[in-house]
Amino acid sequence: MFFRHLIIIISLMTGLSVAAQGYHCAADTVKAMELVRKFYEPGGDPAKKCAGIAEAFVGVEYVPLSKQDTAGVAPVRVDGLDEMGFVNMVIAIAKTAVSPGHTRLKDLEDMLVKVTFRRGEPDGFPTRMFYPSDWTVDNKARGNVKELTEDYSHLFKTKSLESVTRNRDQYPALKDSLTFDRQKMVEMGYRTHKIPHMKRESSDWKNVHADLRDGDLLMLLSSNPDSDVFELGFIISRQDGFHFIHASEKEGKVVEEAEPLGRYIKRNSKQTYGWRWLRVM
């Protein structure tokens, strides 16, 4: 353990500043790098790593990291996660673990930045992608995820993404007028945005269920006009079918749902009109 902490200290002394590196604490960094080493497979498929990594986070406290962010940073943090923070952290670890060459703390930090911020370029609060739909557009364009929804469905629902600025008081960073205006400009690009979706019951359809894989990223799309996504997370196969792992604000932690995916979606039919299907690349 002494040598692990020594590695972290040396990394911090020889790298950029703590803030620039997105450093949170030594304990979190050690745990994150332990997961990178556990799933280490240069040249492997990151999608096949996501379920196991997501499972390792079950029980971690729910912390509204995105709302609390005032500077546009994404620290390597594993002791507290929100919905998007959980998804970004799992993907960053998975992609780092399969990247050819040496996997260093800096590699993980860089990968987390690439999936968290628009175009992978942090430039303040408005470049953090809060909306899963915005996140999907950007990460699809840069080859981080593949959209599978449209291979099985031609259904779309139109929504305007503007809940962040509409709820300005919930985001401390938006007290600054310039930051608020920049976020508003981002949202203007997502007025009447078309979101592809699968029917609620389709996760149990024979052809769809057969093509689902451990580690696929699912977004349960919200019936609430103020939100684009109700919940998002990864699926993992169990004896009775696929189960959903996600950071739940309601439960106050990362959870694996006890019931199979189809039943979970059906139980939440009033909150979600369908689901979206992605795979990490």
Q: Dump pLDDT digits (tens) for 67-111.
A: 999 989 999 999 999 999 999 999 999 999 999 986 899 999 999
pLDDT of residue 20: 40
Residue 56 has pLDDT above 90, yes or no: yes
pLDDT in tens, 226-246: 899 999 999 999 999 999 999
- Read off the pLDDT of residues 15-41 as tens digits, 9 standing for 90 and up: 433 344 456 799 999 999 999 999 999
Alpha-carbon torsion (235, 229, 182, 18), positive or negative: negative
Looking at residue 3, its pLDDT comes to 41
Residue 132 has pLDDT above 80, yes or no: yes
Query: At 10, is the pLDDT very low, low, confident or very high (cuts 50, 70, 90)?
Result: very low
Q: Is the pLDDT of residue 280 over 90?
A: yes
Q: Is pLDDT of 138 > 90? A: yes
Q: Is the pLDDT of residue 181 over 60?
A: yes
Q: What pLDDT score does 14 carry?
A: 38
Residue 9 has pLDDT above 60, yes or no: no
**Of 53-62, 66-75, 212-221, which gets the smallest average pLDDT?**
66-75
Q: What does the mean pLDDT of the chain come to?
A: 92
Structure confidence at residue 11 (pLDDT): 43
The pLDDT of residue 2 is above 50: no
pLDDT value of position 101 = 83
Question: Percentage of the chain with pLDDT > 90?
Answer: 89
- Asked if the model's pLDDT at residue 1 lies above 80, the reply is no
